[in-house]
Every structure is written in structure tokens, then in C-alpha cells.
Chain A
Amino acid sequence: MVTYNPDDWQTWMRAAQGGDAGAYRRLLAALQPWLSAYFRRRLKGDMRGGDSDDLVQMTLLSVHEKRHTYDADAPFLPWIAAVARHKLIDYVRKHGRHVHVELNEALGLDDGMQPDLAARDVRVLLSQLPKEQARIIALQKIDGLSVEEVAAQTGRSASSVKVIVHRGLKRLRALVGAVGEAADD
């Protein structure tokens, strides 16, 4: 796993907000590989030439235009992760790409996020669903319970659990503009 230094990024971003061009150049250069990896992981299976570069450039432009929205007292990684997620969703909606919706906190950990932020990424996705459906998906996909165990815990039949999970993942894919690739297995 590549290590990133979000503390440095935070320092550079604060300096950039004050007009320090050198710190800003270091920040953008450091963000480039992180963003590239972030998008490659999420466009897994549906990458086309230039997708990742386009997204990195769009995100860097957004960082530039919206840098005043970063709260200098807050951690930097949630901010840049939210900007990247927003640009990705925008991009897949416009270009009809498939997003790898993986309900697995390791995806965020690979991006250098702390477990709580990685988990938050998953929670953000699940919060789009009705509470009970999100709970059932979380039990199966995050807690790793079998269909039968989820059924026993929620008082539903196994087939009902399967249908709820399938429909929930389909709904998540629709929400992020994706068509196929998702952890629906």
C-alpha cells in the first residue's frame, strides 16, 4: 500500500489559501498520484484511455476553484475525498461509465484514509437507502454474515434477504450513475 501524508497536504493547503504558490504546487503534485489511484480503483473494469487523467484534471481544477471551501481547522483528507467522489459521480453520470461500488472499507484504506473515514465512505453510500435495507446490506457485505445468519438476525427469510440485498445494490448503482460493476456477489 502506498503511504500518503495528509498532514503535509493540510499544511500545504493552508499555505495555498494564503497565496503560497510553492506550497500549492507541492500539494497539487502530491494529490495527482492519489487521485489517479482513487479513480482507477473505482473505475475498475470500465477504464478507458484517458478516463483517469480527465478525472484527475477535473478534480484539480475543482480544488483550485473551490479551495476556499476547505476549513483550515478540519482534516484535509475528508475534503479532498469528497471533492474526488463528487467529480467521479458527475463523470460517470455524463459518460455512462461503470463504477465499482465496493462495500468494503479496505477500498478507502488503500486510498490512505483512516478507518473512520473509509467507513464513512461506505456509510455515505448506505445512507442513500432505506434504513432496514441499509442494515441488511451492512450485515452481509460489511460484517460478513451469511444470508442465513442475516435472515436469522432480522427475522426474514433467506430469499427475502437476497432480494433486499440485490435491490439495494442495484439502487446504489443507479444512484452513482453506474450500470454494472458492483459487489453484488
Chain B
Amino acid sequence: MTDDLLDKLTKTLRPAAPMRNSRLWLGALAGLAVAVAYILIFYHPRNDVRMLMHGQWSGNPMAVIKPLMFLILGLSAVRAVIDLSRPEGRLRASRLIVLIGVAAAVLIGLGVEWLRFGGRDFAAWLSGGVVVCYTTILCGGMAGLLVMWRFWLRRAAPTQPRLLGAMSGLAAASLMAAAYALHCDGDAPVYLLVVYGGAVAIFTGIATWLGGRFLRW
């Protein structure tokens, strides 16, 4: 019986191009470039980003910190996707340090604002652009995830499919958030936590479920 199987598998053998990590990196960077172009063309850059593009500094560090934060988070998640895509792959603790660091920075900022303003302006800070931000990150993240599925995930063989799904979702949503941050001027920690954090968390949850459903082998 097993000999028959061996014969069958040998006869149907075709060359199988190994998964190359560089392929995912290139795909992620190309996806990010498309997302950035989309945001800059259709949404337009925020004022201090526009000034930066003309070589001027507005004095607001969040114009750089916010996109950079999500970019690092997204690239770290891409690295985790590479780690988890092969059978022997495992998630390394170092991949989570970035996530914990970003969450800690936002929470500390939130705490500082709470001490300074007592939370009375939180509602005002959350009033603008929430729907657009959620829609952009969720839709852009889904487009990124579909492309990742087409070129990488469907060939993967993870032993932790849900975790791979989660990291893929985190990568796609974070990179989309990094692109959207070039347009959005909501810099308050509460905005970052509730709007950006909420959208990324929801998308990561969806991708976790999808991972458990479609990444089994």
C-alpha cells in the first residue's frame, strides 16, 4: 500500500520552488508602496507630512513617530509570519517585544494625558475621522491579506495556523495603518488606542479566525 503511494508520488513529482523569504519581504514592501501611493493621491498627506515632503519641519514629532511606529510593528509581524510559515517554525519572543513596546508607549501616553487633562478632552479627540480610519485600515488590511494569501500563505505549512493568521492580520493592518497615518492628524494617545488600535485589533481577530479555518493542512 505504502509502496503504491511512493510510486504515485514519485511519478507525479514536479519541481517545487522553495518558499523564499525575500518574496514575502518584496511583497510586503510593494504592498506598502501601493498603500502609501493610494493614501497620498486619494486622501492627501497631513500638513506636517506635506511640509516634510518639501524639506520643512513642522516641529510635530508625531508626524514621523506615528507612521514609523506602525511600520515597525508591521515589519516585525511580517518577520513573525516568515517564522511561522514552515512546519518547524515557532514564534520568537523578540517578535512580540515590538508589539508590547508600541502598546506600552500608547498606554503611557494615555496615562500622561489623563493626568494632565483628566480625560475631559477624550471625547473631542475621538470625534473626527473615526469611520474613515476604521474603514481604511480594515479594507486596506483585507486587500493586503488577500494578496499575502495568494502569494505566500496558501503555500505555508504552519503548525499554529491561528497564530500565523493573527500575525498575517497584524502585518497587513499595521502596514495599512502606517500608510494611513501619513494622512490622519489624530495624534492623541486615546485616538491611537481606540481608533488605530481598535481597527488593527479587530482585523487581527478576523485574521486569527481565518487562519484557523484556512491554514490547516
Please give the residue numbers on chain A whose beta carbons come within 8 Å of chain B beta carbons, in ascending order. Answer: 16-19, 21, 24-25, 28-29, 32, 53, 56-57, 60-62, 64-72, 74, 78-79, 81-83, 85-86, 124, 127
Nearest B residue (CB) for A36: B2
With A and B bound together, what is the CA distance between A71 and B83 in angstroms? 12
- Contact partner of A64 among B1, B9, B155, CB < 8 A? B9
B contact residues around A28 at 8 Å (CB): 6, 9-10
B contact residues around A18 at 8 Å (CB): 15
A contact residues around B87 at 8 Å (CB): 66, 69, 79, 82-83, 86
In contact, A57 and B2 (Cβ under 8 angstroms) = yes
In contact, B16 and A29 (Cβ under 8 angstroms) = no
- Contact partner of B10 among A21, A57, A86, A124, CB < 8 A? A21
Nearest A residue (CB) for B155: A68
In contact, A61 and B19 (Cβ under 8 angstroms) = no
Nearest Cβ in chain B — how far from A82, in angstroms? 4
In contact, B13 and A16 (Cβ under 8 angstroms) = yes
Nearest A residue (CB) for B10: A25
Please give the residue numbers on chain B whose beta carbons come within 8 Å of chain A beta carbons, in ascending order. Answer: 1-2, 5-6, 9-11, 13-19, 85-88, 90, 155-157, 159, 217
A contact residues around B159 at 8 Å (CB): 82, 85-86
B contact residues around A16 at 8 Å (CB): 13, 16
- Contact partner of A81 among B17, B19, B88, B217, CB < 8 A? B88
With A and B bound together, what is the CA distance between A64 and B2 in angstroms? 14
With A and B bound together, what is the CA distance between A124 and B88 in angstroms? 10
A contact residues around B90 at 8 Å (CB): 124, 127
In contact, B10 and A24 (Cβ under 8 angstroms) = yes
**B contact face: mostly helix, strand, loop, or mixed:** loop
A contact residues around B11 at 8 Å (CB): 21
A contact residues around B18 at 8 Å (CB): 17, 68-72
A contact residues around B2 at 8 Å (CB): 32, 53, 56-57, 60
With A and B bound together, what is the CA distance between A174 and B13 in angstroms? 38
With A and B bound together, what is the CA distance between A56 and B40 in angstroms? 54
A contact residues around B5 at 8 Å (CB): 57, 60-61
Q: Given contacts A68-B17, A82-B88, list 5 more A-B pairs with CB under 8 A.
A: A17-B16, A24-B10, A79-B88, A86-B157, A124-B90
With A and B bound together, what is the CA distance between A61 and B8 in angstroms? 10
Nearest Cβ in chain B — how far from A137, in angstroms? 19
In contact, B86 and A71 (Cβ under 8 angstroms) = yes
A contact residues around B156 at 8 Å (CB): 69
In contact, B14 and A62 (Cβ under 8 angstroms) = no
B contact residues around A82 at 8 Å (CB): 86-88, 159
In contact, B155 and A19 (Cβ under 8 angstroms) = no
Nearest B residue (CB) for A74: B88
B contact residues around A32 at 8 Å (CB): 2, 6
Nearest B residue (CB) for A29: B6
29 contacts between A and B (CB under 8 A): A16-B16, A17-B16, A17-B17, A19-B13, A19-B14, A19-B15, A21-B10, A21-B13, A24-B13, A25-B6, A28-B6, A32-B2, A53-B2, A57-B5, A60-B2, A61-B5, A62-B157, A64-B9, A64-B13, A66-B157, A66-B217, A68-B19, A69-B18, A69-B157, A71-B18, A79-B87, A79-B88, A82-B86, A124-B90
Nearest A residue (CB) for B15: A19
A contact residues around B15 at 8 Å (CB): 17-19
In contact, A83 and B157 (Cβ under 8 angstroms) = yes
B contact residues around A83 at 8 Å (CB): 87, 157
A contact residues around B88 at 8 Å (CB): 74, 78-79, 81-82
In contact, B217 and A65 (Cβ under 8 angstroms) = yes
